[in-house]
Amino acid sequence: MFYSGLIKVYCRDITINRFKMDDIEICHCNEVMKNEIVKAIREKHLKTVEEVQEATQAGTVCGGCIPDIEEILSEINK
């Protein structure tokens, strides 16, 4: 009984964490979340990093998140 409760809690946490993975902060400089970038790409049919930068401000300061933005772009536009 105790263990099955623990397993349920463990599995629920894994499920919650999987959902949260889509809502991670991609651009730390401008605090832009992945969901915001994905939404902008889908709704505005963005194809380039520059378009994502203009739409979300992600990648416009240090540029450290640009590889992540490129990965998200290629994931959605494949």
Site string for ligand FES, 9-48 (x = CB under 6 A): ------------------xxx-------------------
Q: What is the C-alpha to C-alpha distance for residues 38 and 4, in angstroms, rounded to an integer?
A: 37
Contacts to ligand FES from residues 55-74, by CB under 6 A: 58-65
Shortest distance, CB of residue 30 to ligand FES, whole angstroms? 6
DSSP codes joined into one string, 32-75: EEHHHHHHHHHHHT--SHHHHHHHH-TTSSS-TTHHHHHHHHHH
Instruction: State the DSSP code for 26.
Output: E
Shortest distance, CB of residue 64 to ligand FES, whole angstroms? 4
- Residues forming contacts to ligand FES in the complex (CB under 6 A) are 27-29, 58-65
